[in-house]
Structure 1
Amino acid sequence: MAHTLRLTIVTPEAEVFSGDVDMVTLPGVEGELGVFPMHTPLMTQIEPGELVIRRGTEETHMAVGEGFAEITGDHVTIITDMAIEADSIDEARVEEARRRAEARLKEKLSDEDVALVQATLARTAAQLKVKRARKR
């Protein structure tokens, strides 16, 4: 039997994914990180971007937000503020959210509000990138 990883993805709302996978690629703060079974233990921060789950010849693409990944030899746990499969992303809705966030940046905002709007922009950019890449 081939070695696999147990992948668990958790958001504040729910456990989004739990299953055995052959590989996962995640957007680390220092670049893309590919994780195979027997990976060296690691805890790392992830940034908004594309997460790819590989099972056999199948790939699942997800947009993820900020968070953390804990990697052991046989398990990857991702805790993030957003995880959405590419097929579930409503491009028009996300584009509208991006426009609203950009308009808010033109207003006089507190530092905290600026940070929240910039986080929204990063999440919408990740969703749009993943959705548009899957349309090709």
Structure 2
Amino acid sequence: MANSFNFELVSPERLLVSEEVTEVVIPATEGEMTVMALHAPTMTNIKPGVVSVKTVKGQVERYVVFGGFADILPTGCTLLAESAVAVADIDRANLTQRIRNAKEDVADASSDQARQKAQEYHDQLVVLEAAV
């Protein structure tokens, strides 16, 4: 049996997950990252995407996150999300509206840097929409 560690997924609205798990896959800004027990200490930003959580019972639970950051230690991982929801509970209308808003932000950007950041966020949301 694989070693387990404590994982917490927290959004401003509520605590979504707090349990012992064997593996968590997070959408880090540098690329997808798999966290397991005894992982090296790391902090990373999270981009919009899907977090997959493998419980000690072997079940896989999936959550959509819209940004945030993860604090990873050998004994646990805490993901603080700007917004998060279980994939089964995703509101497609809300996701579509977020994509529309992001597209408007690209058009309304006042600088090249702001436009690039808004475009990256829009592109991440489009990829997320395809993933769920």
TM-score of Structure 1 vs Structure 2, range by shorter chain: 0.7 to 0.9
Identical-pair percentage: 26
Secondary structure of the equivalent of 1:22? strand
Alignment of 1:56-135 (within 5 A): 56-103=57-104, 105-107=106-108, 121=122, 124-125=125-126, 127-131=128-132
Please give the per-residue CA displacement for 1:71-112, whole angstroms capped at 9, x wherever unaligned.
Answer: 1112101111011111111223422442354346445x656x
Deviates more, 1:96-105 or 1:115-124: 115-124
Structure 1 residues 38, 84: closer, same or farther in 2, change over 3 A?
Answer: same
SS in 2 for 1:37: coil
TM-score of the two chains, using structure 1 as the length reference: 0.75
SS of corresponding position for 2:26: strand
CA distance in 1, matches of 2:5, 2:42: 14
Partner SS for 2:37: coil
Q: Secondary structure at the match of 1:19?
A: strand
| Greater Cα shift, 68-77 or 113-122 | 113-122
Question: Shift of the alpha carbon at 1:122?
Answer: 6.0
Q: Residue type of the partner of 1:12?
A: P
Structure 1's unaligned 5+ residue stretches are 132-136
Give me the whole-angstrom Cα distance separating, in 1, the residues matched to 2:130 and 2:31. Answer: 16
Where has structure 1 moved over 6 Å in runs of 4 or more?
113-117
Indicate the residue corresponding to 1:46 in structure 2: 46
Unaligned segments of structure 2, at least 5 residues: none
C-alpha contact (below 8 Å) 1:63/1:126 kept by paired residues: no
Q: Hey, what's the Cα distance between the residues in 2 that align with 1:104 and 1:70?
A: 29
Distance in 1 (CA, whole Å) between partners of 2:47 and 2:105 is 22
